């Protein structure tokens, strides 16, 4: 498949992208409901996701419910004012349940308990902005990646900064969101730039530091680049990645700084179910649905 991988973002998501995919709240919570999805199921997905093709699918359809394990990681999974799970992963979960023709049960776990939920049979799939790591691969399998978590630098469009090397100077003050891991990344890539810690106050990036001249650069998630460039326009912004200024609608994989593959988790050795899921992942990515969901839910959080 032709994967153009993307990143996610909300206020503080830089920290989430680097840390929260490894941790979450200690409690376990669940929500079960019938599902609706207005997504037209691709014929290749329908053909790959049948009970004849996978014993796991046959078991899911026999019980009538898809057991989806997740962890809190906005905008991928969080709760709305009614206490319902919303975000990218609940949308993904509802779509897969509709493909399989079953109801959906979403259960929240601490990130340390997600893999055991698969191993114990409590969950059929993990969808939780879960990093595909060698340690986790010892106990569970992963689908093809559907998302690449990473960062980009952001500067004023009218500035002279074109590359990361241009930013590695004392005249460039770098502003990073309080509580994020962006300061560490900046120390790695632009060690000569002074840093300032900035409260995000619900913003995706500390935009007021750039617009007010208190800083010349900042950093944010690559997957919300389009949203940032659209929302913050006075002054306009430009994104800088590993190849310089990003000129495409969404960043290419080669642009993204310190990327991590994110994928769905499933039982080790379940190649038949993996075939279904990988066909579905290819459709999610190639049609742009996953990118649109990430941008949609990042915007929802930005507007709260």
Topology of the domain comprising 151-258: D-Maltodextrin-Binding Protein; domain 2 (3.40.190)
pLDDT digits (tens, 9 = 90+) for 37-80: 567 889 999 999 999 999 999 999 999 999 999 998 888 999 99
pLDDT > 50? residue 121: yes
pLDDT > 60? residue 24: no
Q: For every residue of the chain, which 3-state class applies, written as one string?
A: CCCCCCCCCCCCHHHHHHCHHHCCCCCCEEEEECCCCCCCCCHHHHHHCCCCCCHHHHHHHHHCEEEEEECCECCCEEECCCCCEECHHHHHHHHHHHHHCCEEEEEECCHHHHHHHHHCCCCCEECCCCECCHHHHCCEEECCCCEEEEEEEEEECCCCCCCHHHHCCCCCCEEEECCCCHHHHHHHHCCCCCEEEECCCCCCCCHHHHHCCCCCEEEEEHHHHHHHHHHCECCEEEEEECCEECCCCCCCHHHCEEEEEECCEEECCCHHHHHHHHHHHHHHHHCCHHHHHHHHHHHHHHCC
Query: Identical fold at 13-146+263-302 and 151-258?
Result: yes
**For residue 13, what pLDDT is reported?**
44
Confidence grade of residue 199 (pLDDT, cut at 50, 70, 90) = confident
The domain limits of the chain are: 13-146+263-302, 151-258
pLDDT > 90? residue 20: no
pLDDT > 70? residue 12: no
Instruction: Report the pLDDT averaged over residues 138-150.
Output: 95
Confidence grade of residue 6 (pLDDT, cut at 50, 70, 90) = very low
**Global pTM?**
0.75
pLDDT digits (tens, 9 = 90+) for 68-116: 999 988 889 999 989 999 999 999 999 999 999 999 999 999 988 999 9
**For residue 32, what pLDDT is reported?**
52
CATH number of 13-146+263-302, picked from 3.40.50.300, 3.40.50.2300, 3.30.70.260, 3.40.190.10:
3.40.190.10
């Amino acid at each position: 498949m032709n994967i153009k991988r993307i990143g996610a973002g909300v206020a503080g998501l830089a920290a989430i992208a680097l840390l929260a995919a490894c941790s979450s709240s200690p409690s376990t919570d669940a929500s079960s409901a019938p599902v609706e999805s207005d997504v037209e199921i691709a014929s290749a997905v329908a053909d790959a996701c049948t009970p004849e093709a996978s014993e796991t699918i046959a078991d899911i359809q026999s019980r009538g419910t898809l057991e989806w394990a997740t962890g809190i990681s906005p905008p991928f999974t969080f709760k709305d004012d009614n206490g319902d799970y919303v975000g990218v992963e609940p949308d993904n979960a509802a779509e897969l349940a509709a493909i399989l023709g079953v109801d959906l049960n979403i259960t929240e776990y601490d990130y340390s308990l997600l893999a055991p939920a698969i191993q114990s049979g409590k969950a059929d799939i993990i969808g939780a902005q879960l990093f595909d790591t060698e340690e986790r691969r010892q106990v569970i399998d992963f689908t093809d990646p559907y998302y690449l978590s990473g960062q980009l630098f952001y500067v004023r469009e009218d500035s002279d900064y074109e590359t990361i090397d241009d930013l590695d100077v004392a005249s460039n003050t770098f502003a990073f969101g309080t509580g994020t891991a962006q300061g560490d990344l900046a120390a790695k890539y632009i060690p000569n730039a002074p840093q300032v810690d900035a409260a995000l106050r619900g913003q995706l990036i500390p935009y007021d530091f750039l617009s007010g001249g208190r800083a010349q650069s900042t950093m944010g998630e690559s997957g919300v680049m389009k949203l940032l460039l659209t929302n913050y326009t006075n002054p306009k912004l430009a994104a800088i990645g590993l190849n310089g200024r990003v000129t495409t609608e969404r960043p290419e994989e080669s642009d993204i700084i310190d990327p991590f593959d994110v994928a769905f988790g499933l039982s080790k050795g379940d190649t038949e179910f993996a075939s279904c899921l990988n066909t579905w992942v290819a459709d999610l990515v190639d049609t742009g649905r996953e990118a649109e969901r990430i941008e949609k839910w990042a915007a929802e959080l930005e507007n709260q």
